[in-house]
Structure 1
Amino acid sequence: MKTIHLLSAVALLAGCATGKMKTADNIQKVSLSTTPCFGTCPVFDMKIEANGHAEYEAKRFNPVTGKFTAVIRKEQMDSLFVLIDKAKLLSLPDEYTQQVTDMPTYRFSVQFKDGKSKWISDYGPMGPEALQHVYKFIFSLRESQTWKQQ
């Protein structure tokens, strides 16, 4: 019985090794900038390098205000990269908009090691659910890290 489980696990892993690079394996930097809304929407810029080095400029309506740095743990970076893979980022439109006013815009970008980049401007924000999960994860980093003020 143990042999069957072991062979199944090996077959599963071998099936995953297709030779195609995942988006996450090629990520160099992830950035999210948010703009004001009519209300208390958080306004900040966050840049996260693939090695976990992060810069956070909290402008308005954040737990703190100022410029900060932190190193994000590998497990959290892996989670972020999985969320980006699930969002199928490269197949998404570059812009989302809606016919309402006073909403924030999220400007999300990923720079890749091969020199390419993907930029998304999301007013509302109204991008697909998988992209919303990426945003929520990045928003959570504002409170889950030990940020050092610059």
Structure 2
Amino acid sequence: MRSTVLRALLLSAFLLAGCKAAPKPTEPQAVEPQTIEYETAPCYGLCPVYRVTVASDGAGIFTGMQHTAVTGDRKFVVTRDQFVAFAKALAPYRPKGTRNITPGQPDCVDGATDMPSVDVQWKSGAATDKLTLYYGCNLETGKPMAEALRMAPEALPIANFIGKR
């Protein structure tokens, strides 16, 4: 009798374990928007000086400072494809942490003078990666990087804010 009761209990426990509710599929987590801030610096001349901040949720703001078609803040909206194109153009040059390619730093050789520079910051949650590039550094070997960074804003609808280059 005892063994029959014990078997019944074990069988019940086994069957109940098999009836456990399947785990619920995880619901998509709310993803904090990634933000990219792209800011140019003055040169000896009429280089446009501006900051553009764009988020993966489509919000953008352009701040014209010098030699741009508009000065001050202008809000704009980007499509998902525009944000992805902008992020993709910059992605190969995104450092882990901070990278500073400016005169006096190890990554800058043969620095020419009177050139503009660009700061790019990628922000996601609490993490921030930052690249600073002085366009006078590594004129020959750094040409692909400089050109990609210079052209990246063309993916965004801000050409009328910047004006003629």
Q: Deviations over 1:127-150 (max 9, x none)?
A: 5625642441225632168xxxxx
153, 158, 162: which one pairs with 1:138? 153
Instruction: Give the structure with higher Rg (CA).
Output: 2
The alignment's C-alpha RMSD in Å is 2.8
Q: Deviations over 1:3-58 (max 9, x none)?
A: xxxxxxxxxxxxxxxxxxxxxx9861100111111111110011111111011111
Q: TM-score if structure 1 supplies the norm length?
A: 0.65
116, 122, 138: which one pairs with 2:133? 122
* Unaligned 5+ runs, structure 1: 1-24, 146-150
| Structure 2 contact 100–132 (Cα < 8 Å) conserved | yes
Q: Which stretch has the larger CA shift, 56-65 or 122-131?
A: 122-131
Aligned residues: 119
Distance, in Å, in 2 between the alignment partners of 1:125 and 1:52 is 33
Q: TM-score if structure 2 supplies the norm length?
A: 0.60
| Structure 1 contact 27–110 (Cα < 8 Å) conserved | no
Match of 2:5 in 1: none
| Structure 1 contact 83–130 (Cα < 8 Å) conserved | no
Match of 1:75 in 2: 81
* Unaligned 5+ runs, structure 2: 1-30, 104-110
Distance, in Å, in 1 between the alignment partners of 2:65 and 2:79 is 24
Higher-helix-fraction structure: 1
Q: Deviations over 1:59-107 (max 9, x none)?
A: 112222221000111211121232233x151359601124332211211
Counterpart amino acid of residue 60 in structure 1: Q
Counterpart amino acid of residue 118 in structure 1: D
Matched, 1:109 2:121: yes
Distance, in Å, in 2 between the alignment partners of 1:64 and 1:116 is 31
